Amino acid sequence: MIRGIGWSGLVWSSLVAPGFSRTIWLILCFNRACLADCMVTNLPIYLDHNSTTPCDPRVVEAMLPFFNSAFGNAASRSHAFGWQAEEAVKCAREQVAKLIGAEPGEIVFTSGATESDNLALKGVFEMYAGKGNHIITCNIEHKAVLDSCKHIEKLGGEVSYLNVKENGLIDLAELEAAIRPQTILISIMYANNEIGTIMPMKEISAIARKHDVLLFSDAAQAVGKIPVDVNADGIDLLAISAHKMYGPKGVGALYVRRKNPRVRLTAQIDGGGHEKGMRSGTLNVPGIVGLGKACELCLVEMEEETVRLGSLRDKLENALLQMDDTHLNGSKGNRLPHTTNISFKHLESEALMMGFSKELAVSSGSACMSATPEPSYVLKALGLDDELAHSSLRFGIGRFNTEEEIDYAIEQVTKTVSRLRETNPLREMHKNG
Ligand code: PLP
């Protein structure tokens, strides 16, 4: 019975019935061998937290009333149901703002980072058409940014795509050189979703400010994982996604600076004029409450979690890099604490993932790109050849992973790599020259 409960079951039961879960916890602690066993019997182990995260049970608990008992429309001004929903949205707005050092009035709720990216890029492009038509971004951005830029190019905009260096960072001199009199926006992601590299936002902002250009950052992977402060970082627009930080899917936010400078946007969804006219549509109150709660938890727990996840990630990474023909992708130092991306030369990542699919859930890169047979454009941008890019796995460790699970993952990956390599003719051919 204990085996069937699993780790997330324990988290749940500790909320629902603390006494019950304490008893179970004691039983588990009593038998350490059983404990280790239990933690790895909840298979497959989820190590794909850059793709999405499980909703934290505390977030679910906060959201639940807003599906039925507190179901009001936050825009209904004439009755208590509406006021209750409005109050919950106000509280969430404060929670989101606090996490990124913003004012509540600077938060626009959206359906996620994809919509926030679209709104920031297209909204600035349309609003500042009188000033210029040039945007600067980089070639390892998420598709939500790159495809919005392609759309803008079709509308007559001009976009410069900066290359990144082998470590996944842009060259600041190249950024400054790309600025033209018509440049209205620099769009550089805070942290990359495939390799976890963190961009030097303060330095990027200093360049943007010097040339009086707005700075937008897609921070879907960064917010809640590392400290992000829009004022200290000098960011004018910032995209957030709830499901990357233990909140629900389908909800996010766009930070829009109101002072120094005041940023204005052309709405991309017209309707009832919600969110100060920047994003019409009845507010997703349960989702917004979930996003707020997720932000509150991240603010409190981030510091401790960073240390714990960093040490689990390093343990996994160091063990895997001990194998022959492995290669770490991206910068080792400047990275999200929970992410590592490793190439296993002469092996196809698909074959590897199939080899341990019952035991581990990892990915070869961005979930939105997993349907395409092409190698990752992010890894190619770092200079990897097709073969190496095709042999890479991204591991994203999360809040509910345990050290036992990481040990188990090391064992499974090592075993699978060795087994596949033994039978791999490519590797033999390579070894024999
Ligand atoms: N931007 C980045 C960097 C991401 O990693 C993702 C999700 O994978 C997105 C944007 C899209 O976010 P959402 O799923 O909230 O639309």
3-state secondary structure (DSSP) of residue 205: helix
Mean per-residue pLDDT, 388-403:
97
C-alpha of residue 118 to centroid of ligand 1, in Å: 11
Cis peptide before 261 (omega within 30 of 0): yes
Mean per-residue pLDDT, 71-81:
97
C-alpha of residue 113 to centroid of ligand 1, in Å: 5
- Among 55, 114, 249, name the best residue to mutate to test ligand 1's pocket (greatest count of ligand atoms within 8 A of Cβ): 114
Domain 36-54+302-431 adopts which CATH fold? Answer: Aspartate Aminotransferase, domain 1 (3.90.1150)
Residue 432 has pLDDT above 90, yes or no: no
C-alpha of residue 241 to centroid of ligand 1, in Å: 7
Instruction: Determine what percent of the chain is predicted with pLDDT higher than 90.
Output: 84
Residue 350 — pLDDT band, cuts 50, 70, 90? very high
C-alpha of residue 374 to centroid of ligand 1, in Å: 19
pLDDT recorded at residue 372: 64
3-state secondary structure (DSSP) of residue 46: strand
Question: Worst-scoring range by mean pLDDT, 211-215, 217-221, 329-333?
Answer: 329-333
Which H or E run includes 27? Answer: helix 18-30
Give the position, in ligand 1's atom list, of the atom nearest the Cα of 243.
15
**C-beta of residue 253 within 8 angstroms of C-beta of residue 275:** no
Residue ID of nearest Cα to ligand 1 atom 6:
220
Mean per-residue pLDDT, 65-73:
97
Residue 239 has pLDDT above 90, yes or no: yes
For the chain, what are the domain ranges? 1-35, 36-54+302-431, 59-295
Task: Mark whether 34 is an active-site residue.
Answer: no
Q: What confidence tens digit (pLDDT) does each residue in 48-59 have? A: 999 999 999 999
Residue 424 — pLDDT band, cuts 50, 70, 90? confident
Cis peptide before 248 (omega within 30 of 0): no
Rounded alpha-carbon distances, angstroms, from residue 375 to 193, 347, 384: 15, 13, 10
Give the position, in ligand 1's atom list, of the atom nearest the Cα of 242.
15
CA distance 39 to 55: 19
Q: Which of 38, 91, 295, 368 is catalytic?
A: 368
3-state secondary structure (DSSP) of residue 214: strand
C-alpha of residue 148 to centroid of ligand 1, in Å: 13
- Among 244, 284, 368, 378, name the best residue to mutate to test ligand 1's pocket (greatest count of ligand atoms within 8 A of Cβ): 244
Q: What confidence tens digit (pLDDT) does each residue in 101-114 have? A: 999 999 999 999 99
Residue 423 — pLDDT band, cuts 50, 70, 90? confident
Look at residues 347, 379, 282, 241 and name the one whose alpha carbon lies nearest to residue 71: 282
Residue ID of nearest Cα to ligand 1 atom 10:
113
Instruction: Determine what percent of the chain is predicted with pLDDT higher than 70.
Output: 86
pLDDT recorded at residue 220: 98
Going by CATH, does the domain composed of 59-295 fall within 3.40.640.10?
yes
Residue 42 — pLDDT band, cuts 50, 70, 90? confident
Q: Angle between the 18-30 and 32-39 helix axes, to the nearest 10 degrees?
A: 110
CA distance 283 to 293: 16
Give ∠ CA 119-292-303 in degrees, rounded to 5.
105
Of the two residues 65 and 27, the one the predictor is more confident about is 65
Residue 60 — pLDDT band, cuts 50, 70, 90? very high
Amino acid at 126: E
Residues touching ligand 1 (Cβ under 6 Å) are 112-114, 117, 142, 144, 189, 193, 218, 220-221, 241, 252
CA distance 160 to 146: 11
Mean pLDDT, rounded, of the chain: 91
- C-beta atoms surrounding 135 within 10 Å: 28
C-alpha of residue 415 to centroid of ligand 1, in Å: 32
pLDDT recorded at residue 429: 63
Give the position, in ligand 1's atom list, of the atom nearest the Cα of 219.
3
CA distance 7 to 46: 12
Q: What confidence tens digit (pLDDT) does each residue in 277-294 have? A: 999 999 999 999 999 999
Give the position, in ligand 1's atom list, of the atom nearest the Cα of 367.
8
Mean per-residue pLDDT, 117-133:
98
Query: Tokens standing for 432?
Result: 């024999």
